[in-house]
Structure 1
Amino acid sequence: MQTIAQTLPKITLKQLAVFVSIYQTGSTSRASEQLHLSQSAVSSALSELESRMQMPLFERVGRRLNQHPNAHAVYVQAQAILGQAVTLEHYHKHQAGQIHIGASTTIGNYVLPPLLAKLYQVLPNANVNMYIANTQEVVSEIEQLNIDIALVEGMPRPIDSKVIEKRAWRTDTLILFAKRDSKWLADLTAYDQGENCYRLTIEQLARLPLLVREPGSGTRQIIDEQLLQHLPNAEVIMAIQQSEAIKHMVSADIGLGCLSQHVIETELACGKLVPVKVAGIDLARSWWLVWHKARHQSAIWQTFIDIIQAN
């Protein structure tokens, strides 16, 4: 079996570039001007290429060079090889302007778009790839080095910290909410006109149907740790992967929901949905910036960090 070293071609990029230039200009003198080489260097490179390929590429008629029938096929391949070499030479420049960003669903749908707009203002030619899923799925992609950096709603689990770095980024608040004039709250007299919300006890909430995000999401993590632990007998009637679906189901009065303030702020502002506050329950949480310890931190990576930390 031949090694890579034994199969390396003897043809050089310089020889191919000289051939392409002669093919395009029709003479060694014009090729030497185009390539800024001496005419003897051009003639030598062409002779070496023909020797390596063991075939003529031009027919010499006095001082003129006529294309040999072999020349066109070689020209097409030479163009392709030189093009690939140029692409490879600029690979680092391309990579420097590319970033793979992950985000858990609430951040990806409601918070990340204006941050990306600011990134494009600073770097109009930025090449951004997005991956939006729940926190657990996004962190898994970080662990596999498929994503450069991610913004997630849940605290990465201790097992994840072996390979990832994390930094608290922003504070968010989950809000319990119901449809205005919900049938589930009709018999409760705890409506606060001043605050425009319902005030319930833990015992009252435990008797109401809840719609929550699926296990693995950052929102569900907070609901489990800071809400449901106080409600061992709560009626969780459905675990749903999409926040929008929960919002629409609550609007249809199927039950109460619990989502980030960013997801329901429009519906709260117009009064379509109403907050439900429970004494003793705090649903504040931190959002996290997460990346792999081994990931290269490029210039665009740092620019994105600067933007999100300023917001």
Structure 2
Amino acid sequence: MKKAVQTLPKITLKQLAVFVSIYQTGSTSRASEQLHLSQSAVSSALTELESRLQMPLFERVGRRLNQHPNAHPVYIQAQAILGQSLTLEHYHKHHAEQIHIGASTTIGNYVLPPLLAKLYGVLPDANVDMYIANTQEVVSEVERLNIDIALVEGKPRPLDTKVIEQRAWRTDTLMIFAKRNSKWLDSIGIHIESNIESNIDGYDDGHDDGADCYRLSIAQLATLPLLVREAGSGTRQIIDEQLLQHMPDAEVIMAIQQSEAIKHMVSADIGLGCLSQHVIDAELASGELVQVKVAGIDLARTWWLVWHKARHQSPIWQTFIDIIQAG
């Protein structure tokens, strides 16, 4: 019959901290003051540590404690262990205030900055890491657990839907637009008119009444050169599903990865563009660019929040969720 092996109690960080304090101060009373513990608790922790190590650490002479030769090597090791513990606490504190946010390009460039300002207002020490790319690239990073939460424009299409959480966030509207007095629209006899006139005939897209616009049919738009976002972007997804399917022969002359590039190319009258109204609000307000309204076309879309179910939802994660849902 095998002899039962005695299981000794584990050494605790409290015992090591008590020992180090006694070693440094020379007495249990001063150690109790330093550690904000009762003197009996300090004496008990030291006794437990000596029992676990099965060696004396101090020699008790009356009310004095003299260091035993065993004390110094144990002190060196205890200092190292407590130092590693402190490093781990700092690491946890740092990562508790860190968040990795992914965003598709329109959201990342135009919508996310004021949301981050609110986050910093609540958590000034927040450590934010940003990844901005098209929707599919961002969702892929979520699947790889490289991003805590993503805000994307297109319908998420993860490889494994069981591990990805996706929640509708807000709505947005894409807008077809052209340079003011564009040669392309002039060539087919289309001229700028007021949205007040357009709305009388049922062309209401929710944009500001009274703003200038062009008004086209789907057939007319199909004859004009279009500049669009690249495949994989949320903007392109909506263009494919809600615009180009009505115009199989449309002249898409260029697919471009950056919304800013499309905006500047349209300003140079290379063709017409289709982007979120967030991207072109300033140019519409200045009159440099003009909305192109197409009867029968609805380019509204849903923006999504996406995260991996296995990703830890830290306090900063929840704070950011509260901010973006309130905004």
TM-score tier after normalising by the smaller chain length = 0.7 to 0.9
2: CA distance, partners of 1:95 / 1:163: 23
1:102 aligns with 2:102: yes
Q: What is the percent sequence identity of the aligned residues?
A: 78
Given the superposition, is the C-alpha separation of residues 240 and 28 from structure 1 closer, same or farther in structure 2, using an over 3 Å criterion? same
* Aligned residue number for residue 282 of structure 1: 298
Look up the equivalent residue of 1:112 and give its one-letter code. L
* Equivalent position of 2:18 in the other structure: 18
CA deviation digits over 1:211-251, x for unaligned, max 9?
Answer: 21111110010111111112222222221111112112222
2:152·2:306 contact (CA, 8 Å) conserved in 1? yes
1:1-311 map, 5 Å? 12-27=12-27, 29-35=29-35, 36=37, 37-38=39-40, 40-41=43-44, 44=47, 71=72, 78-88=78-88, 97-157=97-157, 160-195=160-195, 196-311=212-327
Post-superposition shift, 1:79?
3.8
Q: Distance in 1 between matches of 2:23 and 2:76?
A: 11
2: CA distance between counterparts of 1:74 and 1:208?
Answer: 81
User: Residues 149 and 290 of structure 1 are in contact (CA less than 8 Å); yes or no, is this contact kept in structure 2?
Assistant: yes
Partner amino acid, structure 1, of 2:185 = L
- Gapped runs of 5+ residues in structure 1? 1-9
For residue 105 of structure 1, report the CA deviation from its aligned partner. Answer: 1.2
TM-score (norm 2): 0.75
Alpha-carbon shift at residue 28 of structure 1 (Å): 5.2
| 8 Å CA contact 2:23, 2:67 repeated in 1 | no
SS of the equivalent of 1:162 reads: coil
Instruction: Give the Cα–Cα distance (whole angstroms) in 2 for the partners of residues 43 and 185 of structure 1.
Output: 88
Q: Residue by residue, what CA displacement relative to the aligned partner does 1:236-279 show, whole Å, maximum 9, x if unpaired?
A: 22211111121122222222211100011011111111112222
Partner of 2:296, secondary structure, is coil
- Matched residue type, 1:224: D
TM-score (norm 1): 0.79
CA distance in 1, matches of 2:149, 2:128: 11
- The verdict on how the C-alpha distance between 1:30 and 1:141 changes in structure 2, with shifts beyond 3 A counting, is same
Runs (5+) with no aligned partner, structure 2: 1-9, 196-211
Larger mean Cα displacement after TM superposition, 17-26 or 99-108: 17-26
What SS does the corresponding residue of 1:161 show, helix, strand or coil? Answer: coil
CA–CA separation in structure 1 for the residues paired with 2:86 and 2:158: 45
Range 172-181 or range 56-65, more displaced = 56-65
Structure 2 CA distance for aligned equivalents of residues 254 and 67 of structure 1: 86
Deviation at 1:169, TM superposition (A): 1.7
| Stretch deviating more after TM superposition (43-52 or 210-219) | 43-52
Cα distance in 1 between the residues matched to 2:95 and 2:125? 12
Aligned mates of 1:278, 1:164 — CA distance in 2: 36
- 2:103/2:135 contact within 8 Å kept: yes
How big is each residue's C-alpha offset from its partner over 1:10-44, in whole Å with a ceiling of 9 and x where there is no partner? 76534532343245435555334423344755764
User: Residue 236 of structure 1: SS of its match in structure 2?
Assistant: strand
Quote the Cα distance in structure 1 between the aligned partners of 2:65 and 2:158.
75
Conserved? CA contact 1:16–1:49, under 8 Å: no
CA distance in 1, matches of 2:169, 2:45: 60
Structure-2 change in CA distance of 1:13 and 1:272 (3 Å): same
